[in-house]
Amino acid sequence: MEFYSEPPISTCDVCQYQYIPAKSKREQCCPNCTHIEKHGESIFAMKKRKQKEQHEKWQKKAQEKRKLNPPIPRPKIAMRSEKGKVIARKVAEMKAEVKMEALDGEYAECKGCGRHFQTIDASHKVPLSQSIALAANPENITLLCRDCHMKWENGTVPQMIELDCFVDDMHYLFDMDPERFWKIFYRCTDEYENAPTSKLGRIISKLESFDT
């Protein structure tokens, strides 16, 4: 069985160029030195020159293409209007003030689970997309930890009713955003039909009492 062996590599004494000697020739000569004698430049210099020429060719071709089909300048669109910037600044200031008032030392209580955290979210009961007028209203804010915030925003009904502040926040929605209130209410009744629990039944009864 024959094993593969790496070919011998020779190093030129003149230019230090490394190459694999040809088996067919008895007298070996450095290909780099031969290239310098014939063309006046080394193999490395020749490759670098060709790369530069190719790059200049592509660059010239791209410039000609842009002249024939100039790109259409697109107007810059403001990410937020001046009015939106003012509202966003008021909301940020209000959130910071609410968080500062709720701090007990370095910690603030999450109204959803009752635990204390150094960093806490100021969650809107009525979303910003539904009411700009309530965006900077402190009464529209509930301090929640990140997990409880996600439950309120995108959680399932069983996750939402785990929040200690769920009934109070729903009462606020009943007064300020009835459409959102009834949307969540019917989610609760649908959940109760599929998987009834005593806790969910009690919560639905409390929500129904808002309408009396």
Query: Mean pLDDT over residues 31-59, rounded?
Result: 86
Contact (Cβ atoms closer than 8 angstroms) between residue 43 and residue 32: yes
The secondary structure element, H or E, covering residue 148 is helix 146-154
pLDDT at residue 203, rounded to an integer = 93
Q: For residues 170 and 60, what is the distance between their CA atoms, to the nearest angstrom?
A: 66
pLDDT in tens, 76-98: 555 567 777 887 888 888 888 88
CA distances from 145 to 5, 121, 186 (A): 66, 6, 26
CA angle 107, 123, 174 (to 5 degrees): 130
Give the DSSP letter of residue 40.
Answer: S
The token pair that represents 156 in the structure block: 């399932």
The residue ranking higher by pLDDT, 200 or 28, is 200
Domain ranges, ordered by start, for the chain: 10-45, 82-209
Buried b (16+ CB within 10 A) or exposed e, 3-41: eeeeeeeeeeeeeebeeeeeeeeeeeebebbebbeeeee
Residue 1 pLDDT more than 60?
A: no
Residue with tokens 């959680």: 155
Contact (Cβ atoms closer than 8 angstroms) between residue 125 and residue 142: yes
pTM of the model: 0.59
Query: Mean pLDDT over residues 3-19, rounded?
Result: 74
pLDDT at residue 156, rounded to an integer = 94
Strand partners, 90: none
Residue 70 pLDDT more than 80?
A: no
pLDDT in tens, 126-164: 887 777 778 888 899 999 999 999 999 899 999 999 999
- Specify burial of residue 89 (Cβ count, 10 A radius: 0-12, 13-18, 19+): exposed
The residue ranking higher by pLDDT, 73 or 156, is 156
Residue with tokens 């007028």: 133
Query: Mean pLDDT over residues 11-40, rounded?
Result: 79
**CB neighbour list of residue 165: distance below 8 Å, 6 or more residues apart:** 111, 112, 142, 144
